[in-house]
Amino acid sequence: MARGADVIIIGGGIIGVACAYALTRAGVRRVVLVERGELGREASRAAAGMLAPQAEAESLGPFLDLCLAARDRYRTLEGELRDATGEDIEYCNWGLLYLVDPAEHEAARGRARWQREAGLRVEEISGQALRSLEPLLNPEIGGALLFPDEAHVRPCAVVRALTAGARERGAQVFEKVEAVDFIIGEDRLRGVRAGGETILADSIVACAGPWTGRLLDLVGHGLPTEPVRGQIVRARFDRPPLTHLVWGPRGYLVPRLNGELLIGATVERAGFDATPTLGGVAGLCEAARAMAPGLMAAPFDKAWAGLRPRLPDGLPAIGRFADIPNLYVATGHYRNGILLGPLTGELIADLVVGKEPPLSMEPFSPDRFAR
């Protein structure tokens, strides 16, 4: 394994591999990534892959700006990754139907209003128009908002493509190598102990998902990352049964190009237990039945769970600590790590190479929990 690096990245989920990709793209030569298990096997594999800031965000502000910039970045990233690696990330710009309960009608109109004022595309869809767009949806659903610019990707393909792109430019990526300690110098970190070796480095990026808090305890920085379990059920069709993402009050439906249909996702505090449960699966099937009863005849394929990394305010931490200037953090992406991953990598790369990031990083400073 490498004994020295310009940057060591700890964690090989989507955030870690996106950092490796962006750092090598920015010209950083010696990038080393250590992943204690297999790349992208935790939350990043469990994810549905929606790029859906207009459905996720509750208001205007820096978080929505970050998410919209991240969604835009995918438009060009798709071709860039295909050219560089031959990998197809299955970017589908199919739009999202945000189903509206009669009781939620006013809230949905409010959402449509503030989004239009911000220049975003939103269409209000009647129940009848909804059924001609998606005949499988429950005829009792009174209407929806259509966000035509929402999209989705296949998360494991994104992880594969970013990893291949980083390796292509010289990054060294190691699996089954756990970072167990830091080498602490006077005013900065000097390296990492991992896989029984010492790797010295100019900069270190911690992106270990919900385990980042434990990792940073080793340098006395208590970043309060917590795991939030999400379960998903997969059904199989011969071809996609829907032509949009569908977002309901109790769950969502994500159709994939090959006919897989994902029904997601639970939001549960279950510690570090990433096992799907009967209750979780039953609840997701009920949510799917309420949205599209006709789906219930489809063959059940699989269920799984993953642990979303969450910080107390629900925002990611992307940046560095004021008191350890060569320790960077990229975590807490919670429900939006697939969306935010590639842009997060680029923001970290900007900070590492001393370039001004295109967005204000202040709201996402990891130091906000120390204050």
Residues of this chain that interact with ligand FAD (CB under 6 A) are 10-16, 34-37, 41-44, 46-50, 178-179, 207-209, 211, 215, 230, 232, 264-265, 306, 308-309, 331, 333-339
DSSP structure string for 267-335: -B-BTB-----HHHHHHHHHHHHHH-GGGGGSPEEEEEEEEEEE-TTS--EEEEETTEEEEEEEE--GG
Question: Quick one: DSSP state of residue 189?
Answer: E
Sheet holding 300-310, edge to edge: 123-126, 143-147, 96-99, 245-247, 252-255, 260-264, 226-236, 300-310
Q: How far is the CB of 106 from ligand FAD (least distance, A)?
A: 27
Q: How far is the CB of 178 from ligand FAD (least distance, A)?
A: 4
Q: How far is the CB of 96 from ligand FAD (least distance, A)?
A: 11
DSSP structure string for 76-90: HHHHHHHHHH-----
41 or 131: CB nearest ligand FAD: 41
Which residues fall within 8 angstroms of residue 135, CB to CB, at 6 or more apart?
A: none
Among residues 350, 342, 359, 364, the alpha carbon closest in space to that of 70 is found at: 342
Q: How far is the CB of 18 from ligand FAD (least distance, A)?
A: 8
93 vs 50: CA distance, rounded Å: 10
90 or 131: CB nearest ligand FAD: 90
145 or 284: CB nearest ligand FAD: 284
Q: How far is the CB of 109 from ligand FAD (least distance, A)?
A: 25
Q: How far is the CB of 208 from ligand FAD (least distance, A)?
A: 3
143 or 345: CB nearest ligand FAD: 345
Residue with tokens 């100019």: 202
268 or 350: CB nearest ligand FAD: 268
Angle (nearest 5°) at CA 156 between 210 and 17: 60
143 or 179: CB nearest ligand FAD: 179
